[in-house]
Structure 1
C-alpha cells in the first residue's frame, strides 16, 4: 500500500502490528510508544520528512484514549497532576513544532537530536534503577512497595470503580495525594516548569512528551509509576492534538517541505496502538515497577545507540 504524503510503500498490516506490540509494553510506564515508532518510521520505512513528527502525534491521538479510559476506570488518574502537565506542555509543543520545521528538517540533524534526547531519558531511568543508596532503606522501600502492590491488585480486582488515588492538596505551590497509605508531596511549579521544557522537546520529536515526563516523574519526583502513567498519557494526548493541528495549519507556509501528517499511515499506527494501550494498561498491575522501568530504559538506550551509530558511521 502506497502512502503519498509519507512517500513510502508498506504492507498495511505492518503499522498496526508494530504499534500494538510497542504500545502494549510502553503504556505500562505511561508512554504511548511514539518515541519508538518514530525511529521505526525513519529507519525502517524511510519516512524522513518533518511530516513524520506530525504523523507520530496523530498516532497518539488515535491510540491514547483507550489507555486513559482504563486508568480512569481503575481510579489511577491524578487529575491535578494531569492538569498541570497539560498547561505546561501545550505552549511548549507549539514552540517545538516551529523549531522542528525551521531548524531540524534534515534527517541527519534530527537523528542526532533524537539520540541525545533518548540518551538523557535513559540515563535518568538507569540512575534511578542502579543509583547509590542505603541498602536497608532500599529493602524497606521494596517491602512497602510490595505491600502496596498487593493491596492495589486485590482492590482493583474486587472493584474497578473504587479510586485508588486520593488527592489531599492541590494549590499553586503543592500537589499532595495518597496512594494506598503512601503520601506523595511535590511542587506544582516544579512540575509546570518541567512540563514546559518537555513540551518543547516533545514538539520537536513528535512524541507529545510522555516518554520524557513519565521517567522524570518516577526518577526525579519519586512518584509511583502506577499513578503517573495515566497523567502522562493524558498530557501526551492533549499536546498531540495541538501538535497535529499546528503542523496542519503551518503546512501551507512551507510549500517546499512535507509538514502535514500522513493521515492514512497515522490512523493505521493508531489502531494498533489503541488495542495495545488498552491491554497494556489492563495488565500493568501484574508487572513490577522495576521490570517496567528496566524495559523502558533498555529500549530507549538501544534506540539512542542505533541513531548515534547511523549518524557517525
Structure 2
C-alpha cells in the first residue's frame, strides 16, 4: 500500500511540475514525512532517487521542444557535481536536526514562491536581442547560481532545479521553457551525484543515520513520476509562459506552507 501511494504521489506531482522545470521532489518531501513516515537524511536521499528515475523522461521531452537552450544546461551540470557532494555532507551533519531541516525548507520554498507570484513576467526578447545568458548560457554567473542551487538542492533533497528555474526566470529573464531545461538538467546531475554521496556516507557511517534512501519508496515514486513527467511535458506546451510562472509560484508556495505547518505541529 505504501508503494502504491508513493507511485500515485510521484505521478500527480510530476504531471504538474515538469512543465515549469521542477522535478516534483519539492512537493514529495511533505508526503514522505507526513504520509509515508520517513525520517532523517534518508528523506532527502529518497527524493533524489525519485529524481534519478523520473527526471530523464521529462527532460528529454523538454529539451526537444525548447529551441536555443545553448550551453546553459552543460554549464549548470558541471557546476552541480562538486556542490551536490557538499550538500549531502551538510545534510548529514549540520541539517541532521529535523526542526532545522524543515525550517530551512520552508524558508526556501515560501521565499521562492512569493517572488514568482509578485513579480511580473518579462517580455520575451525579439530575434537578435536576447541577453548573453540566452545566447551563451550565462557563463560564470550561471555556474555560481547552479552550484549554489545544487548544494541546497542536494541538502534538502529537491535536486536544485526547483531553485534554479525560478531564479533564471525572475533574475535572468529567461523564457520558462529554457529555464525548465537548465533546471531539470541541474536536478538530474545533482540527484545522481547526491544520491551516491548519501549512500557512501551511510555505508561509512559519516554523519547522521539513516542516510541511504528507502529504495522501494524512491523507485515507486520515480516510476509514477516518469509517467507524470511525460504527461506534464506534453501539457506544458499548451500553456503560456505567464501561466507556467504562476503555476510554479503556487506549487512552491504550497510546498513551503505544508512544510511550515508540519514544523509547527511537530
* TM-score, normalised relative to structure 1: 0.77
- Backbone CA RMSD of aligned residues: 2.4
The 5 Å alignment of 1:119-138 reads 119-129=110-120
2:7 paired with 1:22:
no
2:159 paired with 1:208:
yes
Match of 2:184 among 217, 224, 233: 233
Match of 1:293 among 245, 248, 262: 245
3-state SS of paired residue (2:158): coil
Counterpart position of 1:249: 200
2:1 paired with 1:49:
no
Shift of 1:74: 2.7
Match of 1:191 among 142, 150, 174: 142
Q: Structure 2: how far apart are the matches of 1:69 and 1:113?
A: 31
3-state SS of paired residue (1:104): helix
Match of 1:61 among 48, 52, 55: 52
3-state SS of paired residue (1:221): coil
Match of 2:224 among 272, 284, 289: 272
Q: Structure 1: how far apart are the matches of 2:222 and 2:261?
A: 29
Q: Which structure shows the higher strand fraction?
A: 1
Shift of 1:75: 4.8
Shift of the 35–176 alpha-carbon distance from structure 1 to 2, 3 Å rule, reads closer
Q: Structure 2: how far apart are the matches of 1:261 and 1:176?
A: 36
Shift of 1:175: 4.5
The question of whether the paired residues in 1 share the 8 Å contact of 2:62 and 2:177 is answered with: no
Identify the range of structure 1 (23-32 vs 246-255) with the bigger mean alpha-carbon deviation: 246-255
Q: Structure 2: how far apart are the matches of 1:74 and 1:13?
A: 31
The question of whether the paired residues in 2 share the 8 Å contact of 1:79 and 1:231 is answered with: no
3-state SS of paired residue (2:237): helix
The 5 Å alignment of 1:72-151 reads 72-76=63-67, 78-129=69-120, 141=123
Q: Structure 2: how far apart are the matches of 1:102 and 1:222?
A: 36
**Which stretches in structure 2 are left out of the alignment for 5+ residues?**
none
| Total equivalences in the alignment | 263
**Which stretches in structure 1 are left out of the alignment for 5+ residues?**
2-9, 131-137, 149-164, 178-184
Shift of 1:37: 0.6
Shift of the 187–64 alpha-carbon distance from structure 1 to 2, 3 Å rule, reads closer
